[in-house]
Amino acid sequence: MEGPEPTRDHRDDTLLQPIAKSGRPFWMLVGTLLAIGLWGAYAWSTQLRRGLSMTGLNVPVYWGLYITNFVFFIGISHAGTLISAILRLSHAEWRRPITRAAEVITVLVLFFGMGNVVLDLGRPDRVLNVLKHGNFTSPLLWDVASITTYLTASTIYLYLPLIPDIAILRDRLGKRHRFYRALSLGWAGTPRQQRILNGAIAAMAVIVIPIAVSVHTVVSWVFAMTVQPMWHSTIFGPYFVVGAIFSGIAAIIIAMAVIRRAYHLENYLKPIHFNNLGILLLVMTLLWFYFTFAEFLTTYYGAEPAHMAVFRSKTEGQFSPLFWFMFVTCFVVPFSFLANKRTRGTVWGTVTASISIEIGMWLERFLIVVPSLSHPRLPRTAASYTPSWVEWSMFAAFISMFLLLYAVFTKLFPIISIWEVREGREHGIREVTERVESYLPAAAEATHG
Amino acid sequence: AMCPGGCGVRVRRISERAVKLEGNPLHPVNGGRLCPRGQAALQSLYHPDRIAGPLHRVGPRGAIGSFERVSWDRALDAIGGGLRKLREAGRPESLVLLRGSSRGIGSRGARRFLEAFGSPNDVVLDRGDEAAAIALALTQGVRAVPAYDLASADYVLCVGGALLEAASSPVHAMRSFGQFRQGRTGRRGKLVCVESRLSITGSSADEWIPVRAGTEGVFALGVAGVLVSEGLYNRDFLLERTEGFEDSRRGDAVARPGLRTLLSRHYGLERVSSETGVPVDAILRVAREFAAARRSLAVGPRRGPLLPGRVFDHLAVQILNALVASVDAPGGVLVPEPVPLAAWPELAADAAAEEGRRRPRLDGVSGKSGVSDKISPRALSDPEQLAEAILTETPYRAEALIALGADPLFTSAAPEKFARAIERIPLTVSFASLPDDTALACDWILPEAHFLERWELWTTPPGVAYPLASLAQPALVKPLHDVRPAAEIFLALARRVSPQIEAAFPAKDVPALLQFEMGGLYRARRGAIMGTPFDEAWVRMMEGAGWWAPGYGSAEELWKGALRSGGWWDPFYDHEDWKRVLRTESGRYEFRADLLEPSAGPIEPPPSTAKPAEAKGTARRSLSLHLFEPLAIAGGTGAELPFLQAILDPGHAAGWETWVEIHPEMAALLGVREGESVRVRSKDGEILARARLTPRVVAATAAIPVGLGKRGGGRWAAGVGANPLRLLPAARDPIGGLPDLDATAVEIVPASAGEPRRERKV
Amino acid sequence: MVVDLDRCTACQACVVACQVENNVAPAGAAEWRQGRAVSWLRLVAFQNGEHGTRPELRLMPVSCMHCQRPPCIKVCPVKATQIDREGLVAQVYARCIGCRYCTTACPYTVRHFNWKRPEWPRPMEQALSPDVSVRPRGVVEKCSFCHHRLQRARDQARLEGRRLREGDYVPACVETCPAEAMAFGDLEDPGSSVSRLAQGPRVFRLLEELGTEPKVIYLSKGESGGRA
Ligand SMILES: Nc1nc2c(c(=O)[nH]1)N[C@H]1C(S)=C(S)[C@@H](COP(=O)(O)OP(=O)(O)OC[C@H]3O[C@@H](n4cnc5c(=O)[nH]c(N)nc54)[C@H](O)[C@@H]3O)O[C@H]1N2
Ligand SMILES: Nc1nc2c(c(=O)[nH]1)N[C@H]1C(S)=C(S)[C@@H](COP(=O)(O)OP(=O)(O)OC[C@H]3O[C@@H](n4cnc5c(=O)[nH]c(N)nc54)[C@H](O)[C@@H]3O)O[C@H]1N2
Ligand code: SF4
Ligand code: SF4
Ligand code: SF4
Ligand code: SF4
Ligand code: SF4
Ligand SMILES: [Mo]
């Protein structure tokens, strides 16, 4: 009943194609992204030389694009590990071709999230003071701790399911042999190895969920632990987590659509996958709306002047165009695409919703950071904040470098987990049948009766 | 002292560097305190654009690059030679001295030089106190700047002026204010400000009464009318000490209508209310409060060292003080005494000089110049007329000009005319320390030493009642640059021009000059070396009892003590010394109802003061221009220093630019949005400013700060903001002849609107 | 510190005195417009009258409140801002990493960041006081209650073999205030003049509802009596 020897199975060779050879489009992409990355390096060097005066920041808008991007990237990071872990633990069979693509996002994007904090420091040279003189009453330190933990856990969680696939590459690819051999840790696919691996993956999936939740909660606490208007809110923890999952799922959908197209994986990533993620995304859309509504209504009813100043600047003042655009992109667009079965059932439908959500969620982060700072409690003529070319360049460079690393990953490892797809084919169907039967009232006896 | 305020300063030094200025705690003017300008003064000492030595212009006017550095000898020889030629040619009168309001030795030396040289043309540019002084001359017969005893008053009605930030001595005024408010147990002074723009002083007031621009005097007369009609005045004082309250009669006919008639005839409540825009009940209430308070004081309009206000308004406000007998009484209007410095020796006979001094002045002001106790109810200088005279060369040609602490190309009411005029003078010299607009247009710049680098003896600042002389020695052992004190420069010029002029100076160097002057204080046998509040109380008590207990036994001891403590003063003020303070022909306070007839003053509201609603229909919307001087840049100086540029107005957090305050309703009519750049245009000029929409101004008024918009002034001032003095017409105050700053109509259009349609004036 | 708003004339001498005393670099027009000019003390304007009410402008000098329970200290990740023995909220320039968390957490917006290296065009550097360190680029600074003056006063007192007396230690802003609106002293000493001032009916603290327990105390405008 077993299929051919794992490394001799040729049914999923499409998945090895991107690793085996790279065409001109790939190198052109690499070139472009590298160029943008280099531009970013130049922008950063000017900031290092001339300080944060190169940004558009001022008093009282001490935080801007960098902190927005920090929150945004960390939010995206919930794409992978968390979604994948939840799907794994709930034995959602359709997860199999998705998890890896998602997990990679997490690991990579975390670096860029942290990178934004370093960018934002006035004295990046003293960043190690955080270890030397760490002050545990500071939510920023909680952030350092939880993000580091999350990064470690996510990396392990990405790596464990990679091992069998690395073994396949080691045996089949014929290049980078030493690299794959070292990373495969002598994987031979023995039942014992398989049992240990499955156990480890399951354990990590359990561990990683609270960590992921904690990460974005702590990110929200950076704001909520101050007494600033429209930051000091108990709802911020869950609100941020929901937003993070929201933007995370959208990121997975976009990533899936791209690799599907680029590597001709229509056979693996089917509209049904998009549809299922789309349903999740729809739930998150509604949740997002619920939280946003609750947050704003609470503020509005409390009507404290300091809070209302921020509230008004968002709903009718200086930030209102961005705010309402955010509302459209975070709610109106995704809701109409995802609630409609016909559009949700298509790749373009979910992708459009997802792109809209990413834009909207970035704006949401921006609209959390900047308007509160622009309206401090004591009146003060605020210079308006417009991000400088350096900040935009760093944003572009970080996105480029993320895409570049992601692309390189797909060139080194299968972006769809080969062994898990096989496992699905070989065990999944039986397992699901058994499971479904186990839900039913003693069906066998009923027939005998 | 960066201003005529004349505060005592102590310098914290680290080896040869001055690192902080503090007020001299013993000094009676400032009692250890300094205003922001004083605090920022180190930035002027160490200003990177200070002129480091004498400069001679070799290129076109207006740029510092046109100057080359020369030695003092060369500069003094050249200038001295030029002046000598004028004198030898018998035209000493063609030398013009243009100076600021400094009461220091430089100014006294300059005047002596001019006199001995033989010219009558001593022209003072800063006229902030002139209107008040003219009003005092008209009513009390003393030509002096009145001193308001704020510290002892219980109720202060400030009409049209920024009593605190625009005071001649801001620190003194603010200390008094602190005392007035919370310095006396059980007594808290109440301040009511009546003005068309809520000034910074107004923000400290208990009440702001907005009044239509230009009608402040009318308001005061309205209040006076209530006091009179309700009998809320001091009958005894009126009877014994005043003249002109009742009509003067010849037989049955009224020869000259008195104040009572004037008020009832022209300044009835309804009329005043409709003209000023102040509700009747507010006028009534103010009048009753004013009458009910124990010590009430009314203060007339003054908006800064450059902006005197109208004499009409000052006269009207003074009436209130007279009605409640707040004249020469504690908490009232006091008359400062002259400081008994030793008079400089009589000039030796010099026919040429005498001939020159007898020529008419170029600015057309008659009478002997610079004599402060002369009872002249007119302005003592007329810089705008001077510019005209230079341009038209009538009555004669100006052939040399010395500008000392004066920047007419920036601060006169006719800056552009002065720019043209100065080009007509063959020899022009500025003593500027930073390259101001005038210096950049002169042929020579002889940089004066900074006040921290020189010896000084300042006399009482305007607005302070007691005689006082502040003595200061250089804070730095040697000046930072190759610069010299003005008095020393005049001595050096005197030496080069003629021995007769040199002989007119009683000493050969500045410290010796000061010592000579201080001798007069010793011989006056009064006053004391500055000391603690305890010393002050002691001296006051002794002198009150007719004793004099000096802390010094010789002129030398006085000199040394004054050097140590900051100077000499006489804290005893003899109130109700009527012979001294009422020196009119009648020997009484004169109400001068004749000058307050509506026809003589600006009774008809200018067409521009209509309410927005009224203006709606008209195609052209003109506003009346209200100028004010923020403390930081008062007197046309301060913009050079970055710390001062940043604090122009805390109400708007305004800095580093010129703004125009417009009432939001008016702005809506004009189509002007908050923060946008607008063109402010009068028939005489146009400037760009940023619109600030604020209920701090009454509708139909456009308020603009004076002090920005320099061409020169160094890196921080040049090109920052715009100079609204360019908008002023040549209008004159009918009483006294000062420029009338409240008679300018402007229109405002968004700068983005481009050229507005040309419309004919209605 | 006690600020009597009934005396204060909004002259801003305190603002400039602080800058001169504490080696604040001159900022130009561009920096000012960008909102980056450093001023440890500023005048906060409360204006009403926009909506037809009686126009009023209230100005209030605001420096660091040296809160007894300062929100800024809790959030600093590296303990670069701390409450010291005297109860002053101090800033350790050499440790600060410039994250600007404290600046955003301070409800009074009184902390400043060095966006660029401070510069003094020659010869302005000559006016720098050796008592106060010049802050490098990238760190946060704020009112120190003129801590260096405390040190100086303490040294002087020790030299004279006596304890610190009231008036020995007066910050630059208080020293210059022309209206004598500011008073400084030990609030814990019940006999000090500030303690006496802090008793009256006009006393209030800024944003006291936030529980920061500011050590800067204001006296409101108006009669000193109140309801008898
Ligand atoms: N016409 C009329 N006159 C009356 C009475 C009446 O019924 N009608 N009632 C009489 C009676 S019973 C009384 S008790 C008196 C009351 O007379 P007042 O003592 O004048 O009392 P209030 O009018 O309440 O004003 C008290 C002031 O305190 C200010 N204030 C409020 N909270 C604070 C605070 O926390 N700190 C400080 N420093 N100030 C604060 C308020 O703004 C107000 O300015 O009036 C008597 N006079
Ligand atoms: N909103 C608001 N509430 C307040 C206050 C405030 O300032 N604002 N102030 C508070 C203070 S300080 C006080 S003292 C209380 C006062 O509150 P109350 O004691 O309720 O005082 P009044 O409103 O004056 O009402 C007293 C009643 O007594 C009646 N009355 C008058 N003369 C006589 C008489 O000779 N004999 C009898 N039997 N009745 C008489 C009057 O007609 C009236 O009905 O209010 C308190 N409540
Ligand atoms: S009032 Fe005048 S003299 Fe006194 S500190 Fe201010 S600028 Fe200097
Ligand atoms: S120096 Fe004194 S009077 Fe001036 S603004 Fe500061 S506190 Fe107010
Ligand atoms: S005022 Fe701000 S900076 Fe000062 S102690 Fe309080 S929270 Fe900290
Ligand atoms: S900016 Fe400096 S003082 Fe402020 S929180 Fe960050 S490290 Fe601490
Ligand atoms: S106490 Fe010192 S540091 Fe603080 S505002 Fe006053 S002068 Fe500045
Ligand atoms: Mo009461």
pLDDT digits (tens, 9 = 90+) for A346-364: 999 999 999 999 999 999 9
ipTM above 0.95, yes or no: no
Contacts of B198 (CB under 8 A, 6+ apart): B208, B210, B651, B696, B697, C55, C57
Question: Buried b vs exposed e over B361-387: b needs ≥16 C-beta within 10 Å?
Answer: bbbebeeebbeeeeebbbbbbbbbbbb
pLDDT at C226 > cutoff 80: no
Of B35-39, B131-135, B506-510, B542-546, which gets the smallest average pLDDT? B542-546
Closest CA to B346 of B108, B116, B110: B116
Per the CB < 8 A criterion, the answer to whether B278 and B160 are in contact is: no
CA of B532 from ligand 3 middle (Å) equals 20
C81 lines ligand 6 (CB under 6 A): yes
Q: Which amino acid is at B669?
A: L
Nearest CA to ligand 4 atom 3: C8
User: What are the tens digits of pLDDT across the range B287-316?
Assistant: 999 999 999 999 999 888 999 889 999 999
Enumerate the residues of chain A whose CB falls inside 8 A of the CB of residue B655: none
Distance of CA B754 to the CA centre of its chain: 38
A134: burial class by Cβ within 10 Å (0-12, 13-18, 19+)? middle
- Cβ contact B677:B662 at 8 Å: no
Q: Is C10 left (phi over 0), alpha (psi -120 to 50) or beta?
A: left
Distance CA A329, CA A360 (A): 5
pLDDT of residue A422: 86
- Classified as helix, coil or strand, A133 is coil
Using 50, 70 and 90 to split pLDDT, how confident is the model at B627? very high
Q: What is the pLDDT of residue C176?
A: 96
At B211-247, the pLDDT tens digits run 999 899 999 999 999 999 999 999 999 999 999 999 9
Indicate which atom in ligand 6 lies nearest the CA of residue C72: 5
Q: How far is B201 from chain C (nearest CA, A)?
A: 7
Q: Tell me the C-alpha to C-alpha distance, in Å, between residue B123 and each of A290, B111, B398, B683, C118.
A: 76, 10, 13, 27, 43
Distance of alpha carbon C94 from alpha carbon C136, whole angstroms = 9
Q: How far apart, in Å, are the Cα atoms of B281 and each of A170, B269, B321, B696? A: 98, 9, 21, 22
Residues whose CB falls within 8 Å of the CB of residue B234, separated by 6 or more in sequence, listed in order:
B323, B324, B325
pLDDT for residue B655 is more than 90? no
CA A30 → CA A25, A112, A176, B125, distances in Å? 9, 18, 20, 72
Nearest Cβ partner for A226 among C47, C104, C138: C104
Strand spans (E) along A207-289: none
Nearest one of B456, B412, B298, B504 to B741, comparing CA atoms: B412
**Structure tokens, B287:** 């009048």
Which residues of chain A have a Cβ shorter than 8 Å from any chain C Cβ?
50-53, 57-63, 117, 120-124, 126-127, 129-130, 132-135, 137-141, 144, 222, 225-228, 373, 376-383
Where residue A7 falls among pLDDT bands split at 50, 70, 90?
A: low
Tell me: the pLDDT tens digits for B695-731?
999 988 999 999 999 999 999 999 999 999 999 988 8
Alpha helices in B16-127 (DSSP H): 36-45, 72-88, 105-117
Strands B659-662 and B686-693: parallel
> Euclidean distance between the first and final Cα of chain C, in Å?
27
Q: Can you tell me which residue has the tokens 């908008």? A: B727
**Which protein residue's CA is at the shortest distance from atom 4 of ligand 3?**
B7
Alpha-helical regions (H) of B277-392: 280-292, 311-323, 351-358, 383-392
Q: CA B671 from chain center: how many Å?
A: 36
Minimal CA–CA distance to B72: which of B51, B50, B53? B53
What is the overall mean pLDDT for chain A?
Answer: 90
Show Cβ contacts of residue A442 under 8 Å, excluding neighbours closer than 6 positions. none
Q: Looking at the predicted structure, is the pLDDT value of residue A448 above 90?
A: no
pLDDT, mean of residues A231-240: 94
In what helix (H) or strand (E) does residue B689 lie, and over which residues does it extend?
Answer: strand B686-693
In this predicted structure, what is the pLDDT of residue B752? 83
Helix (H) or strand (E) holding B427: strand B427-430
**A172: its two tokens:** 């089949």
Using DSSP's 3-state secondary structure scheme, residue C112 falls into strand
Q: What does the alpha-carbon distance between residue C42 and residue C142 come to, in Å, rounded to a whole number?
A: 11
pLDDT digits (tens, 9 = 90+) for A55-113: 999 999 999 999 999 999 999 998 788 888 888 888 888 888 899 999 999 999 999 99
Residue-wise over B561-592: b if at least 16 C-beta within 10 A, else e? bbbebbbbbbbbbeeeeeeebbbbeeebbbbb
Ligand 7 binding pocket includes C22 (Cβ within 6 Å): yes
Is residue B518 within 8 Å of residue B469, measured between CB atoms? yes
Does the N-terminal peptide bond of residue B395 adopt cis geometry, omega within 30 degrees of 0?
Answer: yes
Answer with the residue of higher pLDDT: A118 or C48: A118
- Distance from C-alpha of B260 to C-alpha of B271, rounded to nearest angstrom: 16
Q: What is the pLDDT of residue A301?
A: 95
What pLDDT, in 10s, does the model give residues A309-348?
999 999 999 999 999 999 999 999 999 999 999 999 899 9
Q: B13 near B21, Cβ under 8 Å?
A: no
| Contact at CB, C127 and B720, closer than 8 angstroms | no
Contact B652 A380 (CB under 8 A): no
Q: In terms of residues, how long is chain C?
A: 228
Residue A2 has pLDDT above 70, yes or no: no
**Which tens digits make up the pLDDT trace of B391-443?**
999 899 999 999 999 999 999 999 999 999 999 999 999 999 999 999 999 99
What proportion of chain B, given as a percentage, has pLDDT over 90?
78
Q: Is the CB of C73 under 6 A from ligand 6?
A: no
Q: In which band, very low, low, confident or very high, does the pLDDT at A443 lie, cut at 50, 70 and 90? A: low
Look up residue B423 and give its two tokens: 């080009």
* pLDDT of B755: 54
**pLDDT value at B604 more than 50:** no
Model pTM greater than 0.80?
Answer: yes
> Does B616 score more than 50 pLDDT?
no
Strand order in the sheet with B155-159: B207-210, B190-195, B155-159, B296-299
**Local confidence band at B601 (pLDDT 50, 70, 90 cut-offs):** very low
Q: Mean pLDDT, chain C, as a whole number?
A: 91
Nearest by Cα to B380 from B701, B33, B122, B642: B122
pLDDT digits (tens, 9 = 90+) for B268-287: 999 999 999 999 999 999 99
Give the H/E segment covering residue A3.
Answer: none
Out of B48, B183, B188, the one facing C121 most closely (by C-beta) is: B48
- Cβ distance B301 to B215 under 8 Å? no
Contact A102, A82 (CB under 8 A): no
SS3 state of residue C62: strand
- Kindly list the residues from chain B whose CB atom is less than 8 angstroms away from the CB atom of residue A380: 653
- Closest residue, chain A, to C76 (C-alpha): A138
CB B233 within 8 A of CB B219: no
Query: What is the pLDDT, as a whole number, of residue B367?
Result: 60
What is the residue-averaged pLDDT of chain B?
Answer: 91
Q: Which atom of ligand 4 is nearest to the CA of C180?
A: 2
Residue B591 pLDDT grade (very low, low, confident, very high; cuts 50, 70, 90)? very high
Q: Per the CB < 8 Å rule, is B650 touching C176?
A: no
User: Do the Cβ atoms of A137 and C74 come within 8 Å?
Assistant: yes
Q: Around Cβ C178, how many Cβ atoms within 10 Å? A: 32
Residue B8 has, within 13 A of its CA and on its CB side, a CA count of: 24
Q: Is A181 exposed, middle or buried (0-12, 13-18, 19+ CB in 10 A)?
A: middle
Strands (E), chain C: 2-4, 42-48, 56-62, 81-83, 89-91, 112-113, 140-141, 182-183, 203-204, 217-219
Cβ-based burial of B511 (10 A; exposed 0-12, middle 13-18, buried ≥19): middle
pLDDT reading at B614 higher than 50: no
Please, which residues have CB within 8 angstroms of residue C51's CB and are 6 or more apart in sequence?
Answer: none
Handedness of CA B198, B200, B202, B203 (dihedral sign): positive
pLDDT 10s digits, B447-495: 999 999 999 999 999 889 999 999 999 999 899 999 999 999 999 999 9
Residue A429: pLDDT band by 50, 70, 90 thresholds? confident
Distance from CA of B646 to the nearest CA of C (A): 7
Q: Are B305 and B4 in contact (CB under 8 A)?
A: yes
Residue B698: closest CA among B372, B210, B321, B357: B210
> Greatest CA separation found in chain A?
85
Report the SS3 class of residue A390.
helix
**Residue C1: band (very low, low, confident or very high) from pLDDT cuts 50, 70, 90:** very high
Mean pLDDT in residue range A21-25: 85
Whole-number Å distance, alpha carbon A189 to ligand 7 midpoint, is 71
C68: DSSP letter: S
Contact between B211 and B605 (Cβ < 8 Å):
no
The pLDDT value given to residue C70:
95
CB-based contact B470:B566 (threshold 8 Å): yes
Residue type, B731: A
- Residues 6 or more apart whose CB falls under 8 angstroms from that of A368 comprise A71, A223, A230, A231
Q: For chain A, what percent of residues have pLDDT higher than 90?
A: 71
pLDDT value at residue C228: 28
